[in-house]
Amino acid sequence: MRNPVLIELTRGALVESLHAGAVAVVRADGEVVASVGDIASPIFPRSAIKPLQALPFLESGAVDRFGFGAAEIALACGSHAGARLHVAGVTAMLAGAGQSATALACGAHEPMDAATVRQMIRSRTSPSPLHHNCSGKHAAMLATAAHLAEPTEGYWRPEHPVQLRIRQALEDTTGYALGPAALGIDGCSVPNWAMPLAGLARAFAGLATGEGMAPERAEACRRIRAACWAHPDLVGGQGHLVTLIMQHLPGRVLVKSGAEGVYGGAFVDRGLGFALKIDDGAKRASEAVVVQLISRLHPAAQQLGSDRRLANWRGLQVGEMRAGDALAAMLQRLR
């Protein structure tokens, strides 16, 4: 299905470019409170699923076994920027679990933190797997395997117990069966399971409330929420939208971005989970939609998004970025 237009970019009197997509706002029991577009077909949540992939890290007892706390949980839930504090945090986490960075199967990419990139260019150093935005999640997977005396070798493969536990946690919390047709390999080489936006939003509603969960899982959810709000700079990085939002709305909003235009999150004090995906994968559009969505219930969040006035290289206004009619109508229905 082709989704409705959520975001339009104008230049002069015309719409120059547009972004279609879908949004779901759902309660923990699965009731859809508001939506736009196709929320029933499977999409890949990518890194937006990390806070839920972290469940077995807590539920297995690995966090407590190695004396980890909120910082390590936040790193497990995060897509970090590869800055010094992130690399130091993951390094300490691996050491705490008796693991080495050479065991990380995420690959390497240039850090997202611009200052760190400049520093690496000046010192002529190359990024390592520790700089990969997923290295905290991978460290948590390695720690879980080590704690349970499972082989750490191949922890990233779909059939490894570490991944099977995650798949089970995702089936439980989304309410959907995740069969082989839903399997994708993520940018960091671990399985990423396609699920309907309604399911992703429902899982976040569960994470926000613990509703309908066994006490151990509800407690794990509580610790994940507390960790993300205690260390929003480890879930993203300086200036990252998820970091800004959770710095401004601790206790109220949980949010996580994913590649290809995905966001998942929750209005925690309202018991509502949300999820969105831009059809074309554009980050500028997913960021604009999540800011509009969160601003609907928390108007001060509007300032956290990029300027809706589009300026050129000399600072002249050339157009604007605005909600399309379908998004505006959906936001009207959300109160």
SS3 label, residue 192: strand
Check residue 88 for interaction with a second copy (CB under 8 A): no
* 3-state DSSP percent of the chain in helix, strand and coil, to 5: 45, 20, 35
C-alpha–C-alpha distance, residues 162 and 55, integer Å: 11
Total binding residues for a second copy by CB under 8 A? 50
Check residue 113 for interaction with a second copy (CB under 8 A): no
Per-residue tokens: 211: 């509703």
C-alpha–C-alpha distance, residues 233 and 246, integer Å: 9
Check residue 8 for interaction with a second copy (CB under 8 A): no
Binding-site string for a second copy from residue 10 to residue 49, where x marks contact by CB under 8 A and - marks none: -xxxx-xxxxx---------------------xxx-----
> How near is the Cβ of 306 to a second copy at its closest, in Å?
15
Using the rule CB under 8 A, which residue among 281, 295, 298, 322 binds a second copy? Answer: 281
**Residue with smaller CB distance to a second copy, 39 or 304:** 39
> How near is the Cβ of 34 to a second copy at its closest, in Å?
23
Query: ∠ at Cα 263 (271, 204), nearest 5°?
Result: 30
**Residue with smaller CB distance to a second copy, 187 or 210:** 187
Per-residue buried b or exposed e for 270-281, using 16+ beta carbons within 10 Å of the residue's own CB: bbbbbbbbbbee
The amino acid occupying position 248 is: H
C-alpha–C-alpha distance, residues 252 and 246, integer Å: 8
Phi, psi for residue 16 in degrees, rounded to 5:
-90, -45
**Residue with smaller CB distance to a second copy, 162 or 221:** 162
SS3 label, residue 19: strand
C-alpha–C-alpha distance, residues 267 and 165, integer Å: 27
C-alpha–C-alpha distance, residues 165 and 272, integer Å: 25
Using the rule CB under 8 A, which residue among 93, 188, 201, 304 binds a second copy? Answer: 188
> How near is the Cβ of 10 to a second copy at its closest, in Å?
9
Binding-site string for a second copy from residue 120 to residue 159, where x marks contact by CB under 8 A and - marks none: -xx---------x---------------------------
Contact of 281 with 275, CB cutoff 8 Å: no
Binding-site string for a second copy from residue 200 to residue 239, where x marks contact by CB under 8 A and - marks none: ----------------------------------------
**Residue with smaller CB distance to a second copy, 23 or 285:** 285
Using the rule CB under 8 A, which residue among 85, 92, 148, 318 binds a second copy? Answer: 318
C-alpha–C-alpha distance, residues 229 and 172, integer Å: 24
Q: Which of residues 251-270 bind a second copy (CB under 8 A)?
A: 260-261
The full length of the chain comes to 335
Residues near a second copy, by CB under 8 A: 2, 5, 9, 11-14, 16-20, 42-44, 105-109, 118, 121-122, 132, 181-189, 192, 194, 260-261, 278-282, 285, 312-316, 318-319
